[in-house]
Amino acid sequence: MGIESSVALGAGHLLYDALKRFLSKHGFDEFVETLRQLCYSVGAGGPSLAPAMYSRLLLIG
């Protein structure tokens, strides 16, 4: 049994849950990933966070 299975999860927040559904419905992750490919070359590495996660963090401040 891992530690993550013993940690209680909160109910979440209605705004963030709705935002996640909206972004998923409209293909936000794929869109941001496509834009990211323009900024990173294969030999130069990539971002430390997934591009869609980074963009969501910027949205929520």
The model's pTM:
0.55
pLDDT tens profile 10-55:
777 888 888 889 989 999 888 888 887 777 766 666 667 777 888 8
Q: Return the residue matching tokens 């209680």.
A: 8
> Regarding predicted confidence, which is higher, 42 or 2?
42
- In whole angstroms, how far apart are CA 22 and each of 26, 41, 42? 6, 30, 31
Q: Is the dihedral of CA 45, 51, 53, 58 positive or negative?
A: positive
Identify how many contiguous H helices and E strands the chain contains and give both numbers.
3, 0
For residue 55, give the amino acid letter: S
Q: For residue 7, give the H/E element and its range.
A: none
